Structures are given as structure tokens and as C-alpha cells.
Structure 1
Amino acid sequence: MPRERKRLLPTDDLRHRYDHALVTAAEYPTDYIPEHAAEVRFILAEAAGEIECCLCDMAKYQNVEQCPRCQATSHVNCLDLLRNHERRHGRPLAYGCPECGVLWRAPEERAALAAECNDRRRRTTIAPRTAYRYRHDEISGRLICTFVRPSTGRICGESYYIHQQVRRHHERDHEERTVACDCGLGSAAPGDGQPDLSSCFCPVCGGEFLCRHAAAAHCWDQHRDQHWPPTCQFCQTKFDKYLDLVVHLSSHHQNFEAA
């Protein structure tokens, strides 16, 4: 019986959306995969036409990858969304067909083209000292974020198809840029839907701010060169972002005040 389909959403439990052979294959040695993977067919959006994606069940104007064994097609962005979502939830997937589980490798000409940008740094627009790092994965042709998460000591590992996607990912998940938050002040990151009007303190210098987002943005701008990674002075827990540290202090060390 065919699996029930529904639109692919980041908040879904997506474990029913792919062949679980990809979970097992993610643990294979890197030198095993090239010899046992099939070359995936890459179809540009212009030629893809109304091809339906096996993940979102929609035909959209997007680049498509087609399995050489079962002929199932998936949007490049949908496959990246699936793999990044599962990686964040502790279930990394090998690059392959979500429908039948066969391992894939990128066409050699595409891999060679993408390899030209291997291990370069790209600057963001926030400041000259802020850079994001990535590496080129020869198997999938994707760009892999190599930001090391202080909380785990492991690289992020999320994969994207183009540089702009990697940059946006880094700005969203690894930086604390000044954007508007729910309380209307300059903040470090988009709000979580709950306005926070209570004042809080900078965990480094003790300066007082009107909201946790503003405190985190201040830390990112003023303290990250000398005080990275964000670390709780009370329990020595390391965090990936200053906003996480500020929230931790308010919830676990409520008596924290300016020195």
C-alpha cells in the first residue's frame, strides 16, 4: 500500500516521509558511498515543467533531482529541508532517494563545478569580522555549514544548494543580528511569539536592557571577540547564541543582577 502523502512542513514528524535505509547509510564510511551510489539525474527548473515532488506532492518551478532506479523526483529544496530537519532531530540522512532508499551521488560535472568554491569563506554584511564557513560535499554537490556549535563541540552540518542559502542559514541560526522583535525594540533574533517587556542584564558587563533580545544583540556586537562562546558564569554551561544564555539566566538563575 502506498504511503499517505501530505505537504512537507518543517514542523512535521517526517520519519514516515523517507526510506529508513538512508538513516543506516548515514553511518557508512565516506569511501564506501561513491562506489555504491547511483548518479542522480539533475533537472533544471526550466526543463522540470510540471514534475511532481515525491516529498511535497506539488509541481513547482524548482530544480529537481530524479532517482535513477525508481524514477521518483524531489525538489532540491524539499530534499534539503528534509535532511536538515532530520539532522536537527538527531537522525542524519545519507544523500539518496527518499522513496526507495538508493544512495545517490551528484553528476561529476556538477561536482567539479561546485568544488571550485570548496572551503572558501563568505563575508556577511553585518561586519567585516563576521564570516561563515562551509565545505563542499563531493557526493551531494551541496555546501555544508561547518560552524562549530559551542554547546556540543560539533559542526552544524546543515546542507544547502547555493551560497545565498548558506548565508541566510548562518545569519538566522548562528548570529544575533539586530532585527525587529515582538516588543518593538532592536533585537538579536525574531521573537518567539511571546512579547518580553521585562528588563534584563548583559551577562558579560552587567548593562541593563529593556528586553532579552536587545541584551543578546549587545553581546553579539560588543563582547563576542573576547567572550566567545556564550558561557554561563554560574554553571559553566556553553550556549550556541547569546540569546540562549540570556534566556537561561532568566529561567535558571533568576537572581542574576548586574555586578
Structure 2
Amino acid sequence: MFGLANPERFMRFTAPLPPVLWGVSAVLLAVGTWLSFAAPGDYQQGDTVRIMFVHVPAATLGLAAYAALGVSSFFALVFRHSLADAAARAAALPGAAFTALALVTGGLWGQPMWGTWWVWDARLTSVLVLFLFYLGYMALRSSIDDEQKAGRAAAVLGLVGLINLPIVKFSVDWWNTLHQPASLLRAGGTSLDPVFLAPLLTMMAAYGALFGAVWLTTIRAEIVRRRVQTLRARLALEA
């Protein structure tokens, strides 16, 4: 892992990965979408159950992306490594997009099931806080002109936001909430019927591959941007 922390090695090692991940995510999204529409309606929820195949993967990737942002922020803050800083920065926008998608689809699912688009439920509120952490991270980086100072300030905020991840995950267990408890990863195994489990897992794999593709592509672009910026500064000094 620390060997790949060298930007040169990282660029060489990851060069073939983004096209593969983009292709895998496209195939999995197509298969997952077909399985989602092929699955029967739920006996209670009817066709609205299909929102699950978008909502659950989006919420999961929103959490996973922030975990990647937080861990990268730790290495950037402690070891002052530019690649870790680039990785944290690259995780922010796709993570925010997944979290926003989870909030929107949660409202679309909640209205027919609960009779309301939004409640200040512990799970919903903690996911909204997660989204605000994403926005705060990106806004903080953009508000400081000095990239090093911006990276350090944003890394501190990224680490603070990690506190919210277990709250999101265990909120339905710690408090009496309207949101249903976990049905996929829980003690005693999943409660999902196989006709729903297959499309859900396929879509989760598709979202994971999509995030990997976006993340790696953005990290590589960020490395190139910083190289160009350094080269321009050097040429300006020489001139």
C-alpha cells in the first residue's frame, strides 16, 4: 500500500483499471436494471419495492465513499502525502452524489409507505448530516486559496465526519425510528427473498464499480492537474 503511495507507481499501476471498472459498472448496471424490473412486486409494497434497488446501493456507497474520504484524510493529515489528499478530494463529489440520490429515493419510497416525504427520523437525519459534511468538505476546500492549507483544514473536517458513520449505520438499533432495520446484513442472515436479493446485490456491485471508476479517474486527473500546476509555476520562475 505504501509503495503505491508514490504517485509515479500509482499512475503506472492504476493505468489499466479505470476502463475495466467503467466497463464492469456499465454491464452490471444493465444486468441489475433488467433484474430489478424482472423481479415481482412485493405483496405489501407492490412495485414501489423496486426503489430499493436504487436507494440501498446509493446509501451504502454514500457511507463507503465517506469512509474512503475519512481514511484518506487521515493519511493526508498525518503523513502529509499529496496522493492521500488527492484521494480524499476525489471521493467527495461522487460520495455527495450517492448520498443525495439516497435522500431523494428515500423520499420517493417513504411517501407511499409512510404517507410523508420526510420525517426527522434518526436514520434520515443522520444521512442528511452526512450529505452536509460532504458539502462542507467541498466548500471548505474551495474557500481557501492555498491548496495545502485547504487540504489540511478539509482533512480535519473529513476526520470529524467519521463520527457520523456509526450513527448512520446503527441509528435504527439505538433509537426507536420510523426507518426499517437492516434486512441485508443482520444477525441470522438476510431477510430478503432471493428474487429481491439477486438484483439488489447486482446493483450494489454496479454502484461499487462505478464509484471505483469515478474515484480512480478523478485521482489520476488530480495528479496530472497538480503536475501541470507545478510545471507552470516552475516555468514562471524561470521566466
TM-score interval, normalised by the smaller of the two chains: under 0.3
Per the normalisation by structure 2, the TM-score is 0.25
Q: Kindly indicate which of the two structures has a greater share of residues assigned to strand.
A: 1
Q: Which has the higher contact order (CA 8 A, sep 6+)?
A: 2
Per the normalisation by structure 1, the TM-score is 0.24
Q: Kindly indicate which of the two structures has a greater share of residues assigned to helix.
A: 2
The structure that has the greater radius of gyration is 1
